[in-house]
């Protein structure tokens, strides 16, 4: 928080509360309130603090993240079956519609059977997509062209790019599919 940044910078500069307060023209009590996050500083005071403590002003305006890190155990991954996708998707991120702060991306793990397309129809999404081939291989087809993506390879697909994906191999392919969330993102 801002108070912690100010206190640490003041101590690094070896200023007492009273010395710094005098240098920026505020009371010791006011500065103490800032360092203890009991009061918000005015813009002129922030400028003075940034100058006297030799801190980048952007550091003083940085917001604390309001979301906490979410760890999902394997048993907590949702399994979804999409009407137009082969196989079941394992959702590796929190489900957007269940979260008060929906994630901006969704990461899906999908196993694609041998010689099968991921989708029964061509895909074209409203967001960029990234795909990483964990096991096997994947073929990206667009128009009359195609590109083979081997295990360990990845592909970035810009939004609104008509394509389809298929597993040309004789064993299942496992992919991670990263897309922008359609809820809240």
User: Could you state, in chain order, the average pLDDT of each consecutive group of 10 residues for the chain (185 residues)?
Assistant: 85 92 93 90 87 80 62 80 71 69 80 82 73 94 87 87 84 90 55
The pLDDT score that the predictor gives to residue 30 is 93
The helix-helix angle for 17-24 and 28-35 (nearest 10°) equals: 110
Q: How far is CA 123 from CA 19, 160, 171, in A?
A: 64, 8, 23
The pLDDT score that the predictor gives to residue 80 is 75
Domains detected in the chain: 2-61 (1.10.260.40), 74-180 (2.60.120.10)
The pLDDT score that the predictor gives to residue 154 is 94
Cα–Cα distance for residue pair 3/155, rounded to 1 Å = 44
Cα–Cα distance for residue pair 6/182, rounded to 1 Å = 39
Would you say the pTM of this structure is higher than 0.85? no
């Amino acid at each position: 928080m801002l108070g912690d940044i100010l206190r640490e910078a003041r101590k690094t500069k070896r200023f007492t509360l009273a010395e710094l307060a005098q240098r920026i023209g505020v009371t010791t009590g006011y500065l103490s309130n800032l360092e203890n996050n009991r009061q918000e500083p005015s813009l002129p005071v922030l400028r003075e603090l940034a100058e006297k403590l030799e801190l980048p002003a952007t550091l003083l305006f940085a917001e604390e993240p309001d979301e906490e890190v979410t760890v999902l155990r394997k048993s907590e991954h949702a399994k979804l079956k999409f009407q137009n996708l082969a196989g079941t998707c394992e959702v590796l991120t929190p489900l957007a519609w269940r979260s008060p702060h929906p994630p901006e991306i969704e990461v899906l793990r999908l196993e694609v059977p041998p010689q099968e397309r991921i989708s029964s129809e061509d895909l074209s999404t409203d967001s960029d997509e990234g795909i990483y081939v964990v096991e096997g291989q994947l073929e990206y087809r667009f128009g009359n062209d195609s590109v083979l993506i081997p295990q360990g390879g990845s592909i970035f697909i810009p939004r609104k790019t008509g394509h389809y994906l298929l597993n040309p191999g004789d064993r299942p392919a496992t992919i991670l599919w990263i897309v922008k969330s359609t809820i809240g993102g």
